[in-house]
Structure 1
Amino acid sequence: MPEGDVLRRTADRFQLALTGHVVVRSDLRWPSAATVDLTGTTVLETRSYGKHLLTRFDDGRTLHTHLRMEGYWRIWRTGSREAAARSPQVRAVLATEEWTAVGHHLGMLDVVRTRDERTLLGHLGPDLLGETVDVDEALRRWSARGSTPAAEVLLDQTVVAGIGTIFAAESLFAERLWPWTPADAVPDPSRLLAVARRQLQRAVAEGRPPGHVHGRLRRPCHRCGTPIAVGQARKPPMERPIFYCPRCQAAPA
């Protein structure tokens, strides 16, 4: 599933291509929004919040999308073959005179009044890629999870928003924490969350996440050479793989 860094880069591309321009084509291929027409509105801005994308228009409406597991947005020159968006996988098209944004395999799509965005996002924890992060609120939510494994708390968007399996694994590796350490036994949760925030910020700037453990099953650890292992966070059907180094992140004795 795309994580916070991907959504922030997507929002930045929307900002550059669409902000301040009039929509000349609006095609929302989604049952609850199929009759919604955004043509004639001006794009005010696009922002990400965790794994969510919010495109705001001057008529007081917001297009909210979530990529889920396979979704992505691409921006093409208006009039190009790709901008025609004829694929059956396309779920949304927004075009200005110059650029066309095409959303493929989107997992969620809503059009709401901008003032009602909270009805969609109000349950989420602080966005780790926000300009500021309410650390006290994040720690309050972390504390409420008790002995839940740390990897699962990192994945919980109601604690902090934006972390998925990549940044959960990589931040735990950076702090040498066994992924199934009970949340209330993590020595300094604020430090762990700060590490995840820095990793996300760096991934936005560099265009790629850290690559120390995630997806490196049986390959040598960059620190100690031990083969990377993989375990499971959460129970089916919500299980997620968590990669880790059995030596650098050894389970407590």
Structure 2
Amino acid sequence: MPEGDTVFLAGRRMHDALAGQELTRGELRHPRLVEHDLAGRTVLEVVSVGKHLFTRLDDGTSLHSHFRMDGTWHLYRPGRPWRGGPEHSIRAILEVPDRVAVGYRLHDLDLLPTEREDTWVGHLGPDLLGDDWGPDAEAEVERLLRADPARELGAALLDQRVACGVGNLYKAEVCFLVGVSPWTTVGDLTDRQVHDVVAWSRKLLLRNAWRPEQSTTGDLGGNAQHWVFERGGRGCRRCRDVVRTAGQDDGSPDREDRIAYFCPTCQPGPHPPLERRRGRRPQQQSGRQARY
């Protein structure tokens, strides 16, 4: 599932392309919305709330989309080929005189009164990329994290009711940077560690919000962008131990365990049994150290 910074960037790009303009084409191909035609309505703004996107229109309605695992919006110049996927995967087409926004694989697409957007996002915790982020929001996320001391940190980070924006990538990287196992219970964290978890979550999302590349190490090289995420079986950048993987329940009844990435040396704490490895540890991977 896309991280919050991916949705944030998509929203900002769509806002720049569509806001203040009347739709010359507003076609919705989702089975629930095929009878609606948005042409003639003016786009007021496009905003993201965590992993939700709202395109607000001048008639008091909002087009809500959620990317889930594979949804996306692509922007094109009129007359240019659309390459975001096959024709049958298109769920929405929003066109203004100089741009076309095409929504692919948008399984969650709804048209609702703007005043009722809370129907979709009212239950969420503070948005880590929200314009209203500040000390009060930070303190609220820390409070919500501590509310269930028996919960594993990795699962708590993925819970959008605690804070919205973190996905599996940032879960892995935040746990590494704080130096704790993803299976550490929140109640076993010190006050400083709880503060650092929230601070790193916000910092990493914010620093990647305006670019498609997602680097947590400070390096944009394709082989050096992450500390442990998607580096299972390779050498830890800090200690040369082997980065391990294991499934972790994120608390959702309808989803399989997500893969957790971690270094058992740099991230002390509980974890599933690890397969014994023989031989020499791999050499440390090249790449610059974090500059944060």
Q: Assess same fold via TM > 0.5.
A: yes
Aligned to 2:184: 181
1:153 is displaced (CA, Å) by 0.1
1:143 is displaced (CA, Å) by 2.0
Aligned to 2:286: none
User: Once superposed, what is the RMSD of the aligned Cα atoms?
Assistant: 1.9
Query: What code does the residue aligned with 1:110 have?
Result: D
Q: How does 1:109-124 map to 2 (within 5 A)?
A: 109-124=109-124
1:238 to 256, 260, 265: 256
1:136 to 139, 160, 163: 139
C-alpha separation in 2, matches of 1:239 and 1:85: 28
CA contact (8 A) 1:167 1:199 kept: yes
Aligned to 2:288: none
Aligned to 2:198: 193
Q: Which entry has the higher C-alpha Rg, 1 or 2?
A: 2
Aligned to 1:207: 212
Aligned to 1:67: 67
Aligned to 2:278: none
2:265 to 236, 247, 250: 247
1:238 is displaced (CA, Å) by 3.5
Aligned to 2:221: none
CA contact (8 A) 1:11 1:46 kept: yes
C-alpha separation in 2, matches of 1:104 and 1:135: 34
C-alpha separation in 2, matches of 1:242 and 1:83: 32
**Structure 2 residue 39 is the aligned partner of structure 1 residue 36:** no
1:30 is displaced (CA, Å) by 1.1
C-alpha separation in 1, matches of 2:53 and 2:9: 11
User: Percent identity between the aligned chains?
Assistant: 37
Structure 1: tracts of 5 or more residues without a match? none
Aligned to 1:55: 55
1:91 is displaced (CA, Å) by 1.0
Q: What TM-score results when the alignment is normalised by the length of structure 1?
A: 0.94
Aligned to 1:149: 152
Query: What code does the residue aligned with 1:118 have?
Result: D
Query: What code does the residue aligned with 2:142 have?
Result: L
Question: Any idea what the Cα deviations from partners look like across 1:60-107, whole Å, max 9, x if unmatched?
Answer: 110110000011110001232328987111111111111011111113
Structure 2: tracts of 5 or more residues without a match? 217-225, 272-292
**Structure 2 residue 17 is the aligned partner of structure 1 residue 17:** yes
SS in 2 for 1:31: coil
